[in-house]
Amino acid sequence: MTQKELADRLHITDRAVSKWERGLCAPDLSTLEPLAELLGVTVTELLAGRRMAEEPHKEEIEANVRNALRYSGDELRQVARALRKKYRIVWSCVLIAAFISLAVLWWKGVFHIVERLESPDGTCLLTIYDRDVAIDRLSREPAVTVVNRMPEGAYTTTVYGGAAFQGAWWSPDSTKYILAFETNKGTQLVLNHMIGHSASNLNAYLSMGVDWGELSDRAPQYPEEGVFPDVAYQFLQWSLDSQSALIYYSFSDTDGTRHEGYFWYNCETGTVTGTLKLQAS
């Protein structure tokens, strides 16, 4: 018989037979009896590696060997069953522990962290979540939660409903930071002061601080006093002294003409300086 023919009859692979012939491993106990029958020898002769035609008590020896094999097989099956039961218990405990760990991490909002931003001086850490993890973790309504961990373990938590996170920027001196959110009204900028722990709607202050005559020739598009276009703002960078923020602005006239440019907004005085208008399009 070829290795393949013998392997097919024993329902094993020919690679296993090849390993037997090369002395790399021995047949499994459960294979010895069918292997002996296929080769036309007794199990005793198979194990001894020689014919035992003249051996006394040959049948008794063979019976004892086969009984020993069956007993060993039963023992192995019992051990295997015990191991399988043990491993099932172990794996069940592992899966339960993993599920509990994942549930705890989910409850703490770890899977919803979208940004971690440390202050330049290393004393504060902003952690931003893409949902309300402070009050209603199960809600699917758009929201952003900002947790500011401050020195000595203190922290503040603020939830912004109906918003999607865009970005966060610390000032160089770590005394303030700006948050940007996408809302149904466009980009919303929020200025946060560490001193006094105050937060303000930066868009409103920008509109109050902007000299509209400087930004656009709104007449005759906006002839009525107090009528202003909806202006979109984007934060670009902090000044080196941390007092001012460079802001990009854009808006369209009633005739569709687009105006855009840049200016510096002083966060301390609320004034606008250095306005640069780009060419209208």
3-state secondary structure 223-275: CCCCCCCCCEEEEEEECCCCCEEEEEEEEECCCCCEEEEEEEEECCCCCEEEE
Q: CA 30 to CA 14: how far, in whole Å?
A: 17
Q: How far is CA 13 from CA 27, 34, 89, 97, in A?
A: 12, 15, 32, 39
CB 179 within 8 A of CB 170: no
- Residue 193 amino acid letter: H
- What value does the mean pLDDT of the chain take? 83
Residue 60: which pLDDT band, with cuts at 50, 70 and 90? confident
Q: Which helix (H) or strand (E) holds 92?
A: helix 58-107
pLDDT at 227: 57
pLDDT at 219: 39
249, two tokens = 């602005």
3-class secondary structure, 140: coil
Which residue has better confidence, 86 or 56?
86
Q: How far is CA 70 from CA 29, 66, 87, in A?
A: 9, 6, 25
Which residue has better confidence, 104 or 174?
174
Q: CA 168 to CA 218: how far, in whole Å?
A: 33
pTM > 0.75: yes or no: no
CB 262 within 8 A of CB 272: no
Name the range with the highest mean pLDDT among 40-54, 72-86, 180-194. 180-194
Which residue has better confidence, 136 or 199?
199
**166 class by beta-carbon count within 10 Å (0-12 exposed, 13-18 middle, 19+ buried):** middle
Domain borders along the chain are 3-84, 110-277
- What average pLDDT does this structure show over 240-255? 88
pLDDT at 164: 94
Q: Is the pLDDT of residue 123 over 70?
A: yes
Name the range with the highest mean pLDDT among 108-112, 121-125, 274-278. 121-125
Which residue has better confidence, 60 or 271?
271
Q: CA 250 to CA 229: how far, in whole Å?
A: 10
pLDDT at 220: 42
> 281 CB contacts (<8 Å, ≥6 apart)?
257, 258
3-state helix, strand, coil in the chain (%, to 5): 35, 30, 35
**Tokens 């794996």, residue located:** 91
Lowest-pLDDT choice from 82-86, 132-136, 199-203: 82-86
pLDDT at 179: 96
**216 class by beta-carbon count within 10 Å (0-12 exposed, 13-18 middle, 19+ buried):** buried
Which residue has better confidence, 120 or 82?
120
The region that residue 17 occupies, defined by phi over 0 for left and psi between -120 and 50 for alpha, beta otherwise, is alpha
pLDDT at 223: 45
The proportion of the chain whose per-residue pLDDT surpasses 90, expressed as a percent, equals 30
Q: CA 159 to CA 270: how far, in whole Å?
A: 25
- What average pLDDT does this structure show over 111-122? 92
pLDDT digits 0-9 by tens, 206-222: 877 665 555 555 434 44
Name the range with the highest mean pLDDT among 151-160, 221-230, 231-240, 257-266. 231-240
> 242 CB contacts (<8 Å, ≥6 apart)?
171, 172, 173, 175, 176
- What average pLDDT does this structure show over 190-217? 77
- What average pLDDT does this structure show over 28-54? 81
CB 241 within 8 A of CB 233: no
Range 3-84 has CATH code 1.10.10: no
